[in-house]
Amino acid sequence: MRDKVLKIDVQSEIGALNAVLLHTPGAEVENMTPKMAQRALYSDILNLSIAQKEYEQIEGVLSKVAAVYQVKDLLAKVLDNKEQRESLIGKICVTEQATDYFETLMEMNSQHLVKVLIEGLPAKIDTLTAFLKDEYYALYPLYNFYFTRDSSVTIGNNALICKMANKVRMRESLIMEAIYKGSGAFACDIINAHDFQPTNRDIFIEGGDVLIARNDILLIGNGLRSSAQGIDLLLMRLCKANPEGKFHVIVQQLPDSPESFIHLDMVFTLLDRDKCMVFEPLILGDNHYQTVHITIENGRVSKIKTVSSILSVLKRLGMDLEPVVCGGQIDEWDQEREQWHSGSNFFAFAPGKVLSYARNQATLREMNNHGFEIIPAWDIIQDKKSLDKYDKCCVTIQGSELPRGGGGARCMTMPLSRKQVEW
């Protein structure tokens, strides 16, 4: 953690990382039963001790190259302020129909309240209404919060507070809004998606669907977690914030199933100035999912049209990317299996330097074939190898438990500041 106010500044997916926001999974992950797994959007329940050991590798590697901020620390700062505490708790209680617990929450000390807001608050079964609801929790644990990518998006000096597709995750966005506004740690403009037509169920957008290819090019997934209306809202707010100049938005439609296709970054991520990771059947193959190119000039949409693919339009815009295929190019089964376990979900902490799961062996072989040295995370953490000695490398974290939550390295990292990329 740093006491100095950090200016949010993210202009690409690959610029060298200056600062990142993480949330180490805690008791909220264990406060789950198989019965709750579907509600929590998980494919399985996790073993916390193993998940934390795996997550330790992410934080260990990133702390070598950037300032690491933790959600819990920032949230405690927010809650130390009475007015901010009252505002946040009020929003949470109203959103989750838990107004009976407002006073109880307000009376807790900040550290205890942080735990409750993340790990869950058991319900008081002291009325007929509470008994008949048959709910163990008044506030459910935030099982998905270690995927810090989804509830907010950093674009330039803006923090987009997302309106999540599933109500079970809305508290994450409310917490992130409070952190960006009230922790005192960051300087940024706020774009709020959940305070615009809050009852409109057609408006939703999540951070896993928003990629910054270049400072003038956004890539956005349109599927189960980001609606066309949610994307339109983001573009409207960006046009208002940038009334002059020209930028491009490339929207990729995503399938409704399987559930591993929930976000664009599960099928496409940037690796380097000239390389990207793709799930071949959707990004390179023939299919009926549209790719739409939107051109915005001087604060308004000047052109919108269907294009053949993400890579073709990026090439026309001066980004000629070589695709690296998730699962390798030989076996479609490997492609499907490894995409399911977040094989396309890479996080770049510098151009050509990325984080990924070690389990996706076919994908890692393909990365190695494209010039990336494969390095176990512990070798970096324990100073057995130095990142400075490699032009291109893939640092691998063990992943037996974390992938069960449905995400990879990019999902678990929220960049706050990156260096400019020399294109």
Active site residues: 411
CA dist., res. 370 & res. 387, Å (int): 18
Q: Hey, is 201 helix, strand or coil?
A: coil
Structure tokens at 405: 């939550």
CA dist., res. 411 & res. 132, Å (int): 37
CA dist., res. 96 & res. 90, Å (int): 10
Nearest CA to 363 out of 408, 404, 415 is that of: 408
Cβ–Cβ < 8 Å for 31, 141: yes
**Amino acid in position 82:** K
CA dist., res. 355 & res. 396, Å (int): 6
Cβ–Cβ < 8 Å for 17, 67: no
> In Å, what is the CA distance from 380 to each residue of 57, 77, 183, 413?
9, 32, 31, 18
Q: Work out the number of other CB atoms within 10 angstroms of the CB of residue 70.
A: 15
Sorted by sequence, the CB contacts under 8 Å of residue 314 that are 6+ apart come out as 213, 217, 250, 320, 321
Structure tokens at 160: 């987009």
Cβ–Cβ < 8 Å for 266, 345: yes
Q: Which residues pair with 297 in a beta bridge?
A: 246, 300
> In Å, what is the CA distance from 113 to each residue of 72, 76, 119?
10, 8, 10
Q: Hey, is 286 helix, strand or coil?
A: coil
**Amino acid in position 215:** N
